Amino acid sequence: MKLYLTLIFSFVFSCFTAYSQDACAKKIEPRIRLVGDSWAHFPAIYQAYDSALAKYGFPDMYTKSSGSALISMTAETWWQFPLTRKALEGAIQDDIGKPIDVVMVSLGGNDVAFGIRKGDSLNVLDDNLQEAKYFMDSIFDFIHTALPNAQIIWQGYDYTNFNDPCMDYPWDPYCDLWEGRGYPTAYELNRFLGYIADYQDSVIRAYQKPYLHYFYMTGLMQWHYGQKTPLRYPPYGTYPPRSVPFPGGNLNYPTPHEAMGLNGIDAYHLGPHSYTVFAEFYVRKFIHNYLRRTRDTTVYSEGKTADGWVRENGETGTGSIEVSNGIGSPTKGIISFNTAFIPDEKVIKKATLFLRTKGIERPDKRLANVFPTNFELSVKQGSFGANVVEAGDYSEMATLVNVGCAAGNLRGNEYGLRFDIDAAAAKYINKTGITQFRLSITDTNAISFFNGDTLEFEGPYLDIYYDTTSIISGIRDVKNARQWLTVFPNPTAEMVQLSFTSDWKFKSTRLRVINTAGVVVWEQKLVDKPIEILPLDVSSWPAGSYTVVIENEETQSSASFVKL
């Protein structure tokens, strides 16, 4: 029989060592700053990014928007008008020292949109776009100077819908605006928005700055909702969700009426659910991975017969991971990971497990807690049985119990649950075979989670973090260790700068850069102290996480960076 390691979520009392979830650090921190016009303002009002973060396992992180997101703003008004510029500068400066990882900037739409008329060529926007860029340059530079470690995303817009609101609500003020522009068709308006999107992308590419990003998302509402009822105007017809090209959508159709704001009245803006879909796009595209950027590796669950559930009465099942207590026979979920790829010499300092809900029966208000205490996590070292779901999985004795801190806000289906697993439990992750998890719940809820037979972010996955410094030096306790080295910018696509403190003793100094596989990809010996900052070109290196180590016979220091 193979040796299996088991991490166990259990509500069965164990006589072995226990760790309380209450011991976890429970911090709620701002991670995203919204800046710009109504497409930043409404996501802030609807808490769209907060909801998207919660759906992907980060309910303990939230967005900030006060003083930096207002309806009808342009790049010019934010930067040229004294009062608005003061508000923007004050908001960003208030973020200094806070863990702001991403700044979402939504600007440019109001600078150009109101100049469009039926029959215009696309180039009619060029002057306005160039003028907007002039102010965007200053805004981007200011944000980066104040928050040098934050990533900046120039947010996009999605298509409008004048036809449906003006047919259903003739009094709609947007109808006068549409009439004044000569009633341009959805095709004409969509082409203009596509032109703006191309311009945004070209500007960001021209900057060649690793902290600036743009992602195409036009047509997202078409892709998500589809056109479920036939259009009442050309080109008529329907199309199902996820059938149009994305990004881009179908230029002949407007954004679906059900996605528009104010219950379909607003021709320009989305509704609460739609803006959450909008925010989820950016979380999936970039933010989720960036928040996890210091992980060394990720492994996805096995699925099939290795993920499932087992009841107290001996029944078993696969296809989903289910937990319940108080509804029929108590049920525990089983999740399996093949972690045999982890090199034996790696020291695992922590791990994080992510699950996503598939369905919730009889939801309890405690599920909406950011740090729920109705889940229990345990770990067992040794033989747990086969790496398939079986009746004996229910009652196997645990080695450690309550070893994971749960974070989740399970307000509905498809919300994420995250378990931060401490070092005491992470050291038991199996490097020679299967690592199995067992999940249980202590209240009366019945919940099913997606198993590994699904999309990347729906199924369970396990982030693993190595203790890189101890692996490199082979020494657990380095005498006189302190932070002698910093690396910036981080992340980067081209160059990193290695900065040394002025009191570092350079006698027989060795510099090395090591990738997540433990391979030394660059090294240099230093006899005398070089310039204060040593540049290193990483443009040809593969994307990923790297650790820079500086050491001599007296001490050692390390710093990590991400190559984009």
Q: How far is Cα 111 from Cα 18, in angstroms, rounded to an integer?
A: 59
Q: How far is Cα 462 from Cα 419, in angstroms, rounded to an integer?
A: 9
**pLDDT score of 547 more than 50:** yes
**pLDDT score of 473 more than 80:** no
**pLDDT score of 545 more than 70:** yes
- What is the residue whose two structure tokens read 């296809």? 319
The pLDDT assigned to 373 comes to 87
The pLDDT assigned to 344 comes to 84
The pLDDT assigned to 261 comes to 94
**pLDDT score of 247 more than 90:** yes
The pLDDT assigned to 504 comes to 60
The pLDDT assigned to 38 comes to 94
The pLDDT assigned to 24 comes to 58
Per the model's pLDDT, the better-predicted residue between 396 and 481 turns out to be 396
357-383: per-residue pLDDT in tens? 999 886 677 778 899 888 987 776 645
* % of the chain beyond a pLDDT of 90: 51
Q: Taking residues 276-304, what's their average pLDDT?
A: 92
Q: How far is Cα 370 from Cα 53, in angstroms, rounded to an integer?
A: 12
- Residue 97 burial class via C-beta count within 10 angstroms: exposed 0-12, middle 13-18, buried 19 and up: exposed
Per the model's pLDDT, the better-predicted residue between 19 and 98 turns out to be 98
Q: Which of 98-102, 340-344, 501-505 has the highest mean pLDDT?
A: 98-102
Tell me the pLDDT band of 157, cut-offs 50, 70 and 90. very high
* 0.85 exceeded by pTM: no
> CA angle 428-442-405, nearest 5°?
40
Tell me the pLDDT band of 134, cut-offs 50, 70 and 90. very high
Q: Taking residues 243-269, what's their average pLDDT?
A: 95
**pLDDT score of 86 more than 70:** yes
7-49: per-residue pLDDT in tens? 333 333 333 333 333 345 577 899 999 999 999 999 999 999 9
Q: Taking residues 448-469, what's their average pLDDT?
A: 86
The pLDDT assigned to 5 comes to 34
So what CATH class is 470-563? mainly beta
The pLDDT assigned to 120 comes to 87
Per the model's pLDDT, the better-predicted residue between 278 and 482 turns out to be 278
291-343: per-residue pLDDT in tens? 998 888 899 999 999 999 999 999 999 999 999 987 788 999 999 998 888 88
Cα atoms in the 13 Å half-sphere on the side-chain side of 332: 29
Are the C-beta atoms of residues 557 and 483 closer than 8 Å to each other?
Answer: yes
64-75: per-residue pLDDT in tens? 999 999 998 999
The pLDDT assigned to 535 comes to 86
Rounded to the nearest integer, the mean pLDDT of the chain is 85
Tell me the pLDDT band of 345, cut-offs 50, 70 and 90. confident
The pLDDT assigned to 208 comes to 87
Q: How far is Cα 538 from Cα 551, in angstroms, rounded to an integer?
A: 21
Q: How far is Cα 564 from Cα 545, in angstroms, rounded to an integer?
A: 9
459-472: per-residue pLDDT in tens? 999 999 988 655 44
**pLDDT score of 276 more than 90:** yes
381-400: per-residue pLDDT in tens? 645 567 888 998 888 877 77
Q: How far is Cα 452 from Cα 465, in angstroms, rounded to an integer?
A: 21
The pLDDT assigned to 484 comes to 63
* Domain edges within the chain: 5-25+295-468, 29-291, 470-563
CATH topology of domain 29-291: Rossmann fold (3.40.50)
Beta bridge partners of 452: none
CB-based contacts of 160: which residues, under 8 Å, 6+ apart? 186, 189, 193, 254, 255, 267, 268
